[in-house]
Amino acid sequence: MTTPRDLLMITMDVPSSRPVEQGELSLALAGAELVDLIEAQVITLEDDRIVPGAQWTMGDRLLDGAVSSLVRQTPYESVDDWLWRRGRGLSAAYRADLEAEGGLTRPRHSWIPFRSGRTEAADSPDRNHAAERWTSGEPVLTVLAAAVGIHDESTEEAADLVEDAVLTVLAAVNDAVTELEAVRQRRSIEDAAFDNIWRGADGP
């Protein structure tokens, strides 16, 4: 199992106060990839720049894709730029990969004779691993889950529990999610203002 897959399963299994937005999840998954690459010593960070090492295979199709997409020329890519570039559509890619492996199922209820459109993680050793990591309070997973609205955990609370490079990634994920939410709110306000203008134009 990988941190991105664990995070995806947690978003499907753990209740949250609001729906998990795919944009925020994609950013968090891109950050989770970096965490796994740091821990595998495939990359290091110099300040906020991602410095690739040897081209290793990670034994996971999407993580291997992450390794192959690393910028290997100086100046190296910043963590923030990686999150936005790599994160584009990443939640859909991980979900499709999990579904192709039989890791997703559509729940069937006795009072509903057909399967609903909602999917959930299938019962499997991978799902159990993600659940164990979650219930143990593993700091990386809890901070990433907090970024998508599942759990209240700050990067400051994880500061003494993870290495500096991982902490840099977690902080960047939080900043990117905050930026995305600000953009979404601004567009909502602009759309509302536009609607009001049209209503005014249609008035007497």
Token representation of residue 107: 């729940």
Helical (H) or strand (E) element with 66:
helix 61-68
Angle at 28 between CA 21 and CA 125, to 5 degrees: 95
pLDDT per residue as tens digits for the range 70-111: 999 999 999 999 999 999 999 999 999 998 888 776 655 444
- CA–CA separation, 50 vs 36, rounded Å? 13
Distance linking the first and last C-alpha atoms of the chain: 63
Token representation of residue 56: 């290793």
What is the Cα Rg of the chain in Å? 19
pLDDT per residue as tens digits for the range 148-194: 999 776 667 777 788 999 999 999 999 999 999 888 887 767 666 55
